[in-house]
């Protein structure tokens, strides 16, 4: 699995949920087509009159997620940019997505503005496997976020976390350790540890 594979899943599902923040600080989500995957990013478009466009232009940020038929979920969250060569990109998007011509016939297509993600965090989450499988990637020049939980040297080896873990992804050792690729990030182990030896990663 690579970041490119994740972007390809978004393109294959195509109708993905895109989230932005509105001017009142409320999250807004809608289904938008992933129009292209190229040069290590995804491309999409929206009309200048839409709230989605205003929110993208104001914040420069968005998140997108989709689930395929195999219960594999991809999430991408980060910075977006509007592409300057508008007509070139809209024509290219229409070539790759011919059904768009019915929605925006002839030159009405140029009310659309093309965007792509310029950087962000990518998450792959496979719920079709047991235990679940997850992997994180980045787009662009950003540091990979550390998510989930880790076991610190405060561990006394009592085994409580291992017994309660719903994915059986905690292994014995000094200290005990979590197989991060199989972890749900549910936090049950941290709640159950009698000596608070389990903490959130990246904090």
Residues that bind ligand SF4 (CB under 6 A): 149, 151, 155-161, 165-167, 169-170, 175-176, 178, 183-189, 193, 195, 197-198
Query: What minimum distance in Å lies between the beta carbon of 202 and ligand SF4?
Result: 14
Strand partners, 124: 74, 135
Query: What minimum distance in Å lies between the beta carbon of 135 and ligand SF4?
Result: 15
Q: Which is nearer to ligand SF4, 2 or 152 (CB)?
A: 152
Q: How far apart are CA 113 and CA 15, in angstroms?
A: 18
Q: Specify whether the CB–CB gap between 147 and 187 falls below 8 A.
A: no
User: Strands 170-171 and 149-151: what pairing?
Assistant: unpaired
Please name which of 19, 6, 11 lies closest in space to residue 56, comparing C-alpha atoms. Answer: 19
Residue with tokens 């499988």: 133
Q: How far apart are CA 63 and CA 14, in angstroms?
A: 15
Q: Which is nearer to ligand SF4, 109 or 134 (CB)?
A: 134
Task: Give the Cα-Cα-Cα angle 147, 148, 153 (nearest 5 degrees).
Answer: 110
Query: What minimum distance in Å lies between the beta carbon of 126 and ligand SF4?
Result: 14
Q: Is 39 helix (H, G, I), strand (E, B) or coil?
A: coil
Q: Which is nearer to ligand SF4, 43 or 149 (CB)?
A: 149
Please name which of 22, 13, 25, 16 lies closest in space to residue 53, comparing C-alpha atoms. Answer: 22
Query: What minimum distance in Å lies between the beta carbon of 53 and ligand SF4?
Result: 38
Query: What minimum distance in Å lies between the beta carbon of 80 and ligand SF4?
Result: 31
Q: Which is nearer to ligand SF4, 18 or 176 (CB)?
A: 176
Q: Which is nearer to ligand SF4, 73 or 116 (CB)?
A: 73
């Amino acid at each position: 699995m690579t970041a490119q594979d994740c972007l390809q899943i978004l393109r294959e599902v195509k109708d993905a949920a895109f989230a932005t923040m509105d001017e009142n600080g409320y999250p807004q989500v809608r289904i938008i087509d992933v129009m292209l995957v190229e040069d290590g990013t995804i491309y999409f478009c929206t009309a200048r009159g839409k709230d989605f466009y205003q929110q993208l232009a104001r914040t420069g940020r968005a998140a997108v997620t989709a689930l395929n038929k195999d219960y594999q979920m991809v999430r991408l969250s980060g910075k977006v940019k509007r592409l300057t060569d508008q007509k070139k990109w809209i024509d290219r998007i229409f070539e790759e997505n011919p059904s768009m011509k019915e929605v925006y016939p002839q030159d009405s297509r140029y009310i659309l503005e093309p965007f792509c993600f310029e950087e962000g965090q990518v998450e792959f989450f496979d719920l079709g496997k047991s235990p679940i499988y997850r992997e994180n990637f980045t787009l662009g020049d950003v540091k990979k976020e550390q998510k989930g939980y880790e076991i610190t040297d405060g561990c006394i080896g009592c085994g409580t976390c291992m017994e309660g873990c719903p994915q059986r992804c905690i292994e014995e050792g000094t200290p005990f350790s979590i197989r991060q690729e199989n972890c749900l990030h549910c936090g049950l182990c941290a709640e159950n540890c009698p000596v608070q030896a389990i903490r959130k990663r990246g904090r």
